[in-house]
Amino acid sequence: MWRPVTGSTAGNSEHQTEIMIEERIFSSAADCNRAVADSLTSSLRHTLETNGQASFAVSGGRTPVGVFDLISEVDLAWNRVHLTTIDERWVSPGDEASNERLVRDHLMQDKAAGAMFTGMKTGHPSPDLGRNECAERISRLPLPLDLVYLGMGEDGHIASLFPGSPALSDNDAVVVPGVAPQEPVARMSLSLDALAQAQAICLHLSGEAKRQVYQRSIAADADPNLPFAALLARRAVPVQVFLAES
């Protein structure tokens, strides 16, 4: 059952309001994966029926792999789904660290093999030099994005937007370059505005460390430099949060 969360958006701790979150908690990762997969495919199906096409931006990392494997088995009009990633390391699409490779290996399989994919990595030597081309690619997708599937790092980052990053206040960008503090590999990320404007957002978390940083992000006195807190402050409709306790 969905649980609305009460609190205040970042920078507005004087008043308690119902912030834009609907939360579900699961005791096992497998149950959580199934619920996330069901929610995402339901949203995609509704969007396809309503609009005839759908734009879907997905997270990388370990957490979504089980969800991707489940979604790939769902019978949808995948040939009308525009897929992209919410961020990308500036490596070859065939590199093991590439989010594009993760999506192609786990999501664009079986019934989902026909989805249309737009990659963020360009042929430029750096994200700074490739930013304009990447922004142009993303701008050709149906915008605002219909569905965004987010994860969160133990340090609180979403996409490649890290706590305290100047990119959190870049209000005019579609994509923003950056570097992970603990992993000096250049990256490209959807901007906070591009994420916040999406029609629907799903945040998928697992484990105690991520649960704690999530709780800090939705607290009444949340630090606005936490990316999820900054996202909620710009968000007009609820974010669905799925949390696996183990």
Report helix, strand or coil for 69: helix
Q: Angle at CA 120, nearest 5°, toward 68 and 36?
A: 20
Convert the pLDDT of each residue in 194-236 to its tens digit. 999 999 999 999 999 999 999 999 998 899 999 999 999 998 8
Q: For 76-118, what is each residue's pLDDT tens digit? A: 999 999 999 999 999 999 999 999 999 999 999 999 999 999 9
Who contacts 10 (Cβ-Cβ below 8 Å, separation ≥6)? Answer: 222, 223, 224, 226, 229, 230, 232, 233
User: How are beta strands 54-58 and 147-150 bridged, if at all?
Assistant: parallel
Tens digits of per-residue pLDDT, 38-62?
Answer: 999 999 999 999 999 999 999 999 9
Q: Is the peptide bond before 93 cis (omega within 30 degrees of 0)?
A: no
Q: How confident is the model at residue 3 (pLDDT cuts 50, 70, 90)?
A: low
pLDDT at 17: 46
Q: List Cβ neighbours of 149 (8 Å cut-off, separation of 6 or more).
A: 36, 40, 56, 57, 58, 59, 64, 67, 86, 202, 204
Q: Token pair of 61, please?
A: 């990392």
Compute the mean pLDDT over every residue in the chain, rounded to the nearest whole number: 92
* pLDDT band for position 242 (cuts 50, 70, 90): very high
Domains of the chain (ranges; CATH) run 3-244 (3.40.50.1360)
Tokens of 205: 């978390």
Q: What number is the average pLDDT over the span 168-191?
A: 89
Predicted confidence at residue 19, as pLDDT, reads 67
**Residues 227/210, Cβ–Cβ less than 8 Å:** no
Which positions ≥6 away from 82 have C-beta within 8 Å?
53, 54, 55, 56, 115, 116, 118, 141, 142
Tally of CA atoms within 13 A in the half-sphere of 111 that contains its CB: 12
Residue written as token pair 């800090």: 216
Q: Which pLDDT band, with edges at 50, 70 and 90, does 7 fall under?
A: low
What is the pLDDT at residue 71? 98
C-alpha closest to that of 81 among 55, 46, 101: 55
